[in-house]
Amino acid sequence: MKKDAQKAIAFGILGFIIVAFAYWQLISPVSFTAKEAKLFQIDGGQGLAEISENLEAKNFIRSDKIFILYAKLRGLEGNIRQGRYRLSQNMDIKTILAALTDPERGTVSVTIPEGFSVRDIDERLVSIGLILPGEFSSKALLHEGFLFPDTYYVFSRNFDADDLIKKMQDNFSKKITVDLMQEAEKRKRTLQEIITIASIAEKEVRTEKDYPIVTGILWKRLDHDWPLQADATLLYGKSIPIITTKELTEDSPYNTRKYKGLPPTPINNPGLATIRAAIFAEESPYWFYLTDSDGNVHYAKSNEEHNENRRKYL
């Protein structure tokens, strides 16, 4: 009888270990090495069962049944909130449940650098798991150039592209002061023209000391009915930043080698330094410029000098 009791205890302990291990396996992360965060959306009206099934279907958890059990044991089944969440396969059930029930969770910072186009911003938001591709650009394209680059704090759980667009537009309005607008009016330049020239300079050169000179050259070409010949405009909207014969000969209003005047829209969202440079452009004897591989700008007064610079530095 004593041996039977010992066997029963041993089997009981073994059974407990097996159950505990199985339970641990089921609540542990699907992958301990995964790093990429992906969007998970909970719509209004979805119950715990449907949410759990979706989590398992998207491979965020190992078992929807265990997730339901865990949520009920923690008394959190009624606390899961609708919205969008950034989840990863390296999160265990406890962490996922905390994300889905914490009302304060979800504020993230988004940094938009100077010179980012609407398409670039869209890709940045996708990369940090806030949107699906195209959700931002489809709404923001009409506002290209007027979305001020900065760091913004957004609520990821219910991220709304329209809210970020408004924040960026409001910031733009604050940065473009009455004094700056008055200076633009003195020079008989419209805000659209200024932002377009600034966006071109933002991509054509890399240093603030060159911005006023290059914007001065661009204005001079424009005022003398020259084509702008800015390579940066040829690449607008392109996924690969390489200029080929196709780009040079393309029948596009952004082809400033082929057509005179400004492109129809800015080609990115410039920062304050280039905007100010477009307003306070510097007069110079130069008509041409090029940027070498180290970011140095070489200026020329004539096409012959420019061709010589091309030979030397490109």
Q: What is the mean pLDDT of residues 211-219?
A: 98
Mean pLDDT, the chain, integer? 89
Q: What is the mean pLDDT of residues 158-176?
A: 95
Higher-pLDDT residue of 237 and 32 is 237
Task: Give me the percent of the chain exceeding a pLDDT of 90.
Answer: 63
Q: Residue 20: is its pLDDT beyond 50?
A: no
Q: Does domain 17-101 have CATH number 1.10.8.80?
A: no
pLDDT at 37: 79
pLDDT at 166: 97
Looking at residue 166, its amino acid is: K
Ramachandran bin of 7, using left for φ above 0, alpha for ψ from -120 to 50, beta for the remaining angles: alpha
pLDDT at 7: 57
pLDDT at 266: 98
Q: What is the pLDDT of residues 28-62, one digit of tens each?
A: 888 878 877 788 888 878 999 999 999 999 999 98
pLDDT at 13: 60
Quick check: helix, strand or coil at residue 151? strand
Across 18-22, 159-163, 302-306, least confident range? 18-22
pLDDT at 23: 46
Q: What is the mean pLDDT of residues 287-298?
A: 95
Which of 182, 213, 224 lies closest to 278, judged by CA?
Answer: 213
Q: Residue 236: is its pLDDT beyond 60?
A: yes
Higher-pLDDT residue of 238 and 180 is 180
> Which pLDDT band holds residue 259 (cuts at 50, 70, 90)?
very high
Looking at residue 26, its amino acid is: L
Neighbour count for residue 68 (Cβ, 10 Å): 17
Which of 229, 288, 232, 287 lies closest to 259, judged by CA?
Answer: 229
pLDDT at 51: 94
> Which pLDDT band holds residue 175 (cuts at 50, 70, 90)?
very high
pLDDT at 155: 77
pLDDT at 213: 98
Looking at residue 302, its amino acid is: S
Across 31-35, 236-240, 252-256, least confident range? 31-35
Q: Are 159 and 82 in contact (CB under 8 A)?
A: no
What is the distance between the terminal CA atoms of the chain, rounded to a whole angstrom? Answer: 93
Across 126-140, 164-178, 199-213, least confident range? 126-140
Domain ranges of the chain: 17-101, 107-174, 176-283
pLDDT at 29: 86
Q: Are 194 and 275 in contact (CB under 8 A)?
A: yes
Q: What is the mean pLDDT of residues 226-233?
A: 96
pLDDT at 8: 55
